[in-house]
Chains A and B, each alone.
Chain A
Amino acid sequence: MTDLVGSDLAVQLGARRVLAGASCALRAGELVLLAGRNGAGKSTLLRALLGAQAVAGGAVQLGGKPIGSWRGDERARQLAFVPQAIETPFEFTGRELVAMGRHPHRGRGAPLSADDRTAIAEALRDVDAEGFADRPVTTLSGGEQRRIAVARALATKAPLLLLDEPTNCLDLEHALQLVALMDRLCAQGRGCLVASHDLNLFAPAADRVVVLHEGRVAADAPPEQALAPALLRSVFGVDCGPASGGFPRAFRLPG
């Protein structure tokens, strides 16, 4: 079973200490919400867990091995990533971009195999993107581009997924579909770590919520505990109701 464990991670970007001893783990079968204010270090933590960000302290282990000791393609078959935006200036079609998700499975110069094609078709179906998969990605709406980015990560068939704001720009229906999809993936034994500001969307489905505050983990617990009113007030600066708990919650400014 592949686990991803980041312990005591410290990251310094220029003069700023973005992470100051943050620990976060992701196991197969769980959906973890990574929450925090703007600039709390969520994206940096995801990048550190991915091995794309050098850490000044602490360590990241994937499947019990330091993340840096994995060969690129082997790591990519275990751990996939959905970045905040699709960022190619060229007119690749959605299908071509999703096909890039098969890169870690293909030998150098090898054409797409039948397995690759099946994985690509499944990934596109999972995010309901078949209708626009053959259009240039530069002509797609922000939400459609997000779904292609998620499909690319799904096409890797990696058991662990890191998602940075996957519901940005998504309409309500597709945002809910994405949560349902992640729920389904977790039920199949995959693990998802989602950085998001949409607490009401993900908290009901999440097994745990990791709250990041000023580079440290302020809470790592089931949603009810992690997003307790006291913490919401101290970390996010908001009050919430009703006091009985549960989700969705109505957030409001204090006072």
Chain B
Amino acid sequence: MKNSIKSLVVMAIIAIAGTTFAQSTGNSASATGTANATIVCPISLTAGTITFGTFVSPAAATTVSLDNAGVATYGAGTNPGSQGGAHSASTWNVTGQGGWTYNLTDDATRAFTISDGAGHTMTGNANAPSGSNPRTLAGDGCNGTGSFTQGGTVNVGAGQVSGTYSTGNSGGSGWSETVTYN
């Protein structure tokens, strides 16, 4: 009986305390969270140009090719000898976040058409770009750089009309390469 009385007394005290507590700070709470974001340097790509140089109009349709180092292979009847002038593979430049990696993608055919702007054209395909994915931008901060080269093959028709052909002329078209951060 004595124990029973003690228990009752304790319970009464708790009840009072509980009532008081619920009406004070115990019924609300707050916390501070953080928000964060990292703004990264945009990745950019500057297109290159395959320069096939000057070659001779052949009697039969053939091709002129440049490998990714710019070394030319002339089809029959097109070799200009020492008078062909400069030829080179294209060099594409990438800038972005130094140390980051990116992938290079395209439509796999990399088809182009070069035109003299007067209705005469030659079709061709750029090579698969040098290097392989994933690629890394060298350097720090926003000064990261990368590059790749691309040769290609142009189809030269029999008796191809002489002139200066370019993707930039009317009737010409280029191909696309795309760089994307991983």
Asked if A and B bind, the verdict is no
